[in-house]
Structure 1
């Protein structure tokens, strides 16, 4: 995992999914503006959390593909989504743990 900073996460996003760099930068500008407006680093912490989990998932192509498949199953609305939603939660929980963002841990820039 990269350092949990905007620069570290940007480098990781550029490596694992270069097509998402512009989304990352756009989101960073949005949260930076929001943080200034509200006078809080909370939006930046949320940003780091979101992108750290994203990177943790994308680092493993099979896991990223499985997540996409599960999300498609849920979106299709054809099957009972209970098992798929549970597996999606598990993927996210594992990614949070790999990024060092488990319960009670604050993500920060």
Structure 2
């Protein structure tokens, strides 16, 4: 991942569209592009099966938050740290890591919601 000067985001937050998010993921987190490419089809299939747009909305919300985090190198590094701790730490460390991951995701979703208003 490219770093930015003075801790600024690498790119502006893109609109919450599949095309804009795909371009952002390709630019700031290319290793995640295969997962991104696979998931819209899965969400679309789930939406068709249930006649419900919730899976597509969930996909867009999840990837919008992912881009929000990944475009900020320090925040992305912190998230990776807690993900690694959750995977390799003791039960106590894993619980703390889960709480920290939740905090990061909650903060990202709140920031995005505030930007929409």
Shared fold per TM-score greater than 0.5: yes
Runs of 5+ consecutive residues of structure 1 not aligned to the other structure: none
**SS across alignment from 1:40:** coil
Distance in 2 separating the partners of 1:86 and 1:33? 32
**Deviates further, 82-91 or 18-27:** 82-91
Is the 8 Å Cα contact of residues 73 and 79 (structure 1) preserved in structure 2? Answer: no
Aligned equivalent of 1:66, options 71, 78, 82: 78
- 1:33 is aligned to 2:45: yes
Distance in 2 separating the partners of 1:95 and 1:48? 14
Deviation by residue 1:21-46 (Cα, 9 ceiling, x = unmatched) = 22111101111111112111111011
1:14 corresponding residue in structure 2: 26
Runs of 5+ consecutive residues of structure 2 not aligned to the other structure: 1-12
Distance in 2 separating the partners of 1:38 and 1:78? 39
Report the TM-score, using the length of structure 2 for normalisation: 0.76
Is the 8 Å Cα contact of residues 53 and 92 (structure 1) preserved in structure 2? Answer: yes
User: With CA pairs under 8 Å and 6+ residues apart, which has the higher RCO, 1 or 2?
Assistant: 1
Report the TM-score, using the length of structure 1 for normalisation: 0.81
Aligned residues: 103
Distance in 1 separating the partners of 2:78 and 2:67? 15
Higher helix share: 2
